[in-house]
Amino acid sequence: MNLSFARRSALVALAVGVVACTESTPPSAPTITTFRPIVEPILNPPVNVNGVYQGTMLFTGVSGGADALRSAGGVECVAQAYVAAVDNGNQSNDASMIVTQDKTNISLVTVRLASEETGLACTYSGAIGSSNGLISDAAPAACNAATNLIIRCLPDPVTGEILIRQLQFVSASLSATFDGWPANVTSASGRTAQTYNILDRDGRPVGGLVFNHTFFVNRR
């Protein structure tokens, strides 16, 4: 049966409409936003300093003093005794460092730095800045050193008197930078400072000292 002219015209019009509706539109040109998830890790790699480091620590000196000595730039007798021990071969010693980054905020780190010869170690908590700088500190509870040490000073060169001092640990700080920053770190270098209050043998405050070290460690 032949379709009427009106019905054939209606079918043709419908077919044309379907083709018009399904005709594809040309794709839009890609933008930087399109590729950002791909190139971002390449252009700005995430900081990765996790791991074990080994190297050396070097004693660099003692600062601080007591009363007039402090104003004159001198040091307390504890410092003289410590430096004398260092001059006998203890200036440099092997060290190990373990760096652990926070899983949710990789700029936050904990750093455990230990002397492999003395066994003394502190666990520091701090942060890494965007320009490759680590700043951290440690409270007495985060260090395995005794909070109070008894030191016998060297004999006084004039009187021959030997003073007894107590060292009361206050805090420690660590600062460092990394080679190969940020994603291909191979080593780290920096300094540490341990602060002590000085008491006489009866527990009376005498002054304060800061023991300073530098370190250089390679990533293992």
What are the pLDDT digits (tens) for 172-200? 999 999 999 888 999 999 999 998 889 99
Q: Can you give the pLDDT at residue 89?
A: 56
Q: Pairing state of beta strands 164-179 and 148-152?
A: antiparallel
Q: Positive or negative, the Cα torsion across 146, 147, 150, 155?
A: positive
Burial of 79 (0-12, 13-18, 19+ CB in 10 A): buried
CB-CB contact of 70 with 197 (8 Å): no
Q: Can you give the pLDDT at residue 71?
A: 47
Chain centroid, CA 97 distance in Å: 10
Q: Can you give the pLDDT at residue 26?
A: 65
Give the DSSP per-residue string, the chain: -PPPHHHHHHHHHHHHHHHHHHPPPPPPPP-HHHHHHHHHHHHSPPP---EEEEEEEEEEEEEEESTHHHHHT---HHHHHHHHHIIIIISEEEEEEEEEE-SS-TTEEEEEEEETTT--EEEEEEEE-TTS-EEEEE-GGGB-S-SEEEEEPPPPTTT----EEEEEEEEEEEEEEEETTTTS--EEEEEEEEEEEEEETTS-EEEEEEEEEEEEEEE-
CB-CB contact of 66 with 165 (8 Å): no
Closest alpha carbon to 63 in 86, 83, 49, 85: 83
Q: Can you give the pLDDT at residue 99?
A: 97
Q: Before 182, cis peptide (omega within 30)?
A: yes
Q: Dig out the tokens for 46 from the structure.
A: 């995430």
What are the pLDDT digits (tens) for 90-112? 678 899 999 999 999 999 999 99
Closest alpha carbon to 163 in 171, 175, 155: 155
Is it the case that residue 163 has pLDDT exceeding 90? yes
Instruction: Give, in order, the Cα–Cα distances in Å from 71 to each of 8, 68, 78, 94, 95.
Output: 110, 5, 17, 35, 34
**Averaged pLDDT, 3-16:** 51
Q: Where are the domains of the chain?
A: 5-43, 51-219
Closest alpha carbon to 96 in 139, 157, 54, 63: 54
Model-level pTM greater than 0.85?
Answer: no
With pLDDT > 90 as the criterion, what percentage of the chain qualifies?
Answer: 42
